[in-house]
Structure 1
Amino acid sequence: MSTAAPRNRTAAASAGRYGRIVTMVVVAAFFLLPILGFVMLIFQSEEGLRSGEGGLFGIGALSWENVVYSWNELSKFGPGDGHVFQRWLLNSVVVATSGTIIAVVAAIPAGYAFARLRFRFRKAFLFVTLLAMVMPNTVLVIPIFLEVNAIGAIGQLWPVAVIMGFFPFGVYLAYIHFMTTMPHELLEAARIDGLGEVKTFFQIGVPLAKQAIALVAFFSFVANWINFFLPLALLTSSQENKLISIGIQELIGASPMFNATVAAGLDVKLYLPQLALATVVSMLPLMAMFLGAQRFLVKGQTVGAVKG
């Protein structure tokens, strides 16, 4: 048998492999280059951007001093002594973290109950959970506003944190986890040993739910951090109690680049480098959350998978 055919197949396989690599590199560059250019904006000055100083991406004009200047300008923004941007960040951390804790504490037991307990109207409750999961958040904004307004809590942070703890998607994740990863025989053995349902959950269910807890915490925190309509409806009455999700919009709306009329009456005017810095800083908690939960997220990707 001639060796030409195997060589041709090997060459074709290598060419196909290199072709796929080149395609992936091109696609990655298509998405990464705009992000890289945006991040580089925080190291530039407004004057340098206008003059085109530094060449491609302004690399020749990058300076840490520009970052310090942009941060100082952000700190001056707001009434009085400013520093509302830092306050917005702190508010978002507190509210998003509190909502995440409530979501985890509520979702894990609920998912366990749906998966491993048998009680009346179980399927009806599960259906309602799935219905709430697919319901758009914008539909609930007005009813929630009316309820919070009825108790006189508009402009306060705690109702937002409590409402963000309502996370039906986390209940569904926990339900799928306990349905697929917890052997029924293990529960039967625990009950034979005399463990009640509560002890069985804490001694067996919780230790087996680390990946589900990480998934629920991650997705809940991200959803809380980027939530826009709920903070916009409930926190517009107080400048200091806003969250970073609506604060970024306010910064953009007060920039001469987008709203010259509003910016004309402000002492501090924010331009593209300051807006880019505010956006990048607002993304850092999400990046930290992702890096911290990455090990569990990789393992948690198989939640709900069926072994073959």
Structure 2
Amino acid sequence: MSAVEMHRVVGSRRWSAGRIARVSVMLLVAAFFVIPIIGFIAMAFRNQENVAAGSDGFLGLGGMSWENAVYSWSQIVGFGPGGGGLFPRWILNSLIVSVVGGVLGLVAALPAGYALARLRFRLRKAWLFATLLAMVMPNTVLVIPLFLEVNAIGAIGQLWPVAIIMGFFPFGVYLSYVHFMTTMPPELVEAARIDGLGEVAIFLQVGLPISKQVTALVAFFSFVANWTNFFLPLALLTSSQQNKTVSIGIQELIGASPLFNATVAAGLDVKLYMPQLALATFISMLPLLVVFLTAQRFLIRGQTVGAVKG
């Protein structure tokens, strides 16, 4: 068989009817999810008049302009008493609690995961079981006890208790445990002990250098969980407009829109409609996108955490 004939056979196998059908189904499913996202982002660059008139064009892309987005942003920034400025403050608050909580979660998760994986101490299995139990426990179960504790120290409405509580990240401990169990063999730990290293030195000099992937995983998942956390800020920060996070701030913007609550919106100087709400939501998603793109290389490698090497 000549090279040309072989190329034709291979090409026909590559694009068989079954493969074409599978690719078509995947493209259809992808379009089912992508098209609403495109329309949602496009909404942020339109104006309320075009939206109300229904002149949206193909996929809702009609009437888009940068001037519309600038106007919508000015309306969002103007929301709130005394000239507004609440939304940028909410973004900053979310960044503070997400970053501080993520750092605390990372600092706690890596040593705890190493200890559960490579140290032998009493009640080790009980601590591991407690970690798994805390990992699967719904966040709503803990909101009321946490509220009572924070209220007892008079810190309701302040950011620092929220940031500290967000540092409690049992899923990160479990990821670290799996990582050290699979990538740090007991022989390596024993050799380090024979060389005279203590447990802290083994973790710092041996464990951390091989933990880039799991560090990226824990940091990413912790940041996402903190940024999207709703019930905890709702319970602890609602007494202060300035200290709210963007997760509950978006809900407040929706509640003050004439589209959803005409009574509340009647007393406001700033009116928020669909373009403004879409822009605010889109901006609140940007930090997650930036973190994902920054950590993407480590996240792809970290997907194999827990896999057995052949």
Q: Which residue of 2 aligns with 1:78?
A: 80
Q: TM-score normalised to the size of structure 1?
A: 0.96
Q: Which residue of 2 aligns with 1:275?
A: 277
Q: Which residue of 2 aligns with 1:230?
A: 232
Does residue 189 of the first structure (1) align with residue 225 of the second (2)? no
The code of the aligned residue for 1:41 comes to M
Q: Compared with structure 1, are the counterparts of its residues 69 and 13 closer, same or farther at alpha carbon in structure 2 (3 Å cutoff)?
A: closer
The code of the aligned residue for 1:23 comes to V
Is contact 2:259–2:273 with CA below 8 Å preserved after alignment?
A: yes
Does residue 133 of the first structure (1) align with residue 122 of the second (2)? no
Q: Which residue of 2 aligns with 1:124?
A: 126
Cα distance in 2 between the residues matched to 1:134 and 1:55: 45
**2:223 aligned residue (221, 224, 230):** 221
Is contact 2:159–2:237 with CA below 8 Å preserved after alignment?
A: yes
Q: Which residue of 1 aligns with 2:98?
A: 96
Does residue 251 of the first structure (1) align with residue 227 of the second (2)? no
Aligned-pair CA distance for 1:159 = 0.0
The code of the aligned residue for 2:94 comes to S
Q: Compared with structure 1, are the counterparts of its residues 48 and 129 closer, same or farther at alpha carbon in structure 2 (3 Å cutoff)?
A: same
Cα distance in 1 between the residues matched to 2:46 and 2:246: 23
**2:164 aligned residue (146, 153, 162):** 162
Is contact 2:39–2:61 with CA below 8 Å preserved after alignment?
A: no
Is contact 1:130–1:172 with CA below 8 Å preserved after alignment?
A: yes
Q: Which residue of 2 aligns with 1:46?
A: 48
Does residue 15 of the first structure (1) align with residue 17 of the second (2)? yes
Cα distance in 2 between the residues matched to 1:93 and 1:272: 25
**1:204 aligned residue (174, 186, 206):** 206
Cα distance in 1 between the residues matched to 2:160 and 2:61: 44
Is contact 1:44–1:58 with CA below 8 Å preserved after alignment?
A: no
Cα distance in 2 between the residues matched to 1:12 and 1:79: 63
Aligned-pair CA distance for 1:70 = 0.1
Cα distance in 2 between the residues matched to 1:142 and 1:54: 45
Aligned length: 304
Does residue 65 of the first structure (1) align with residue 67 of the second (2)? yes
Is contact 1:116–1:178 with CA below 8 Å preserved after alignment?
A: yes
Aligned-pair CA distance for 1:54 = 4.5
Range with bigger deviation, 235-244 or 258-267 = 258-267
The code of the aligned residue for 1:217 comes to A
Q: Compared with structure 1, are the counterparts of its residues 192 and 165 closer, same or farther at alpha carbon in structure 2 (3 Å cutoff)?
A: same
Aligned-pair CA distance for 1:255 = 0.3
Q: Compared with structure 1, are the counterparts of its residues 242 and 189 closer, same or farther at alpha carbon in structure 2 (3 Å cutoff)?
A: same
Unaligned runs of 5+ in 2: none
Render the CA deviation track for 1:208-241: whole Å, top value 9, x for unaligned. 1111111100000000000000000000110000
The code of the aligned residue for 1:105 comes to V
The code of the aligned residue for 1:137 comes to N
Aligned-pair CA distance for 1:292 = 0.7
Aligned-pair CA distance for 1:53 = 2.5
Render the CA deviation track for 1:249-288: whole Å, top value 9, x for unaligned. 0000000001111111111110000000000000000000
Aligned-pair CA distance for 1:13 = 6.1
Render the CA deviation track for 1:191-224: whole Å, top value 9, x for unaligned. 1111111111000000111111111000000000
Render the CA deviation track for 1:124-155: whole Å, top value 9, x for unaligned. 11111111111100000000000000000000
Cα distance in 2 between the residues matched to 1:48 and 1:260: 20
Unaligned runs of 5+ in 1: none
Cα distance in 1 between the residues matched to 2:24 and 2:302: 30
Cα distance in 1 between the residues matched to 2:225 and 2:210: 25
**1:106 aligned residue (99, 105, 108):** 108
Q: Compared with structure 1, are the counterparts of its residues 35 and 189 closer, same or farther at alpha carbon in structure 2 (3 Å cutoff)?
A: same
Range with bigger deviation, 14-23 or 135-144 = 14-23
Q: Which residue of 1 aligns with 2:297?
A: 295
Q: TM-score normalised to the size of structure 2?
A: 0.95
Cα distance in 1 between the residues matched to 2:247 and 2:190: 47
Is contact 2:35–2:59 with CA below 8 Å preserved after alignment?
A: no
Cα distance in 1 between the residues matched to 2:228 and 2:56: 34
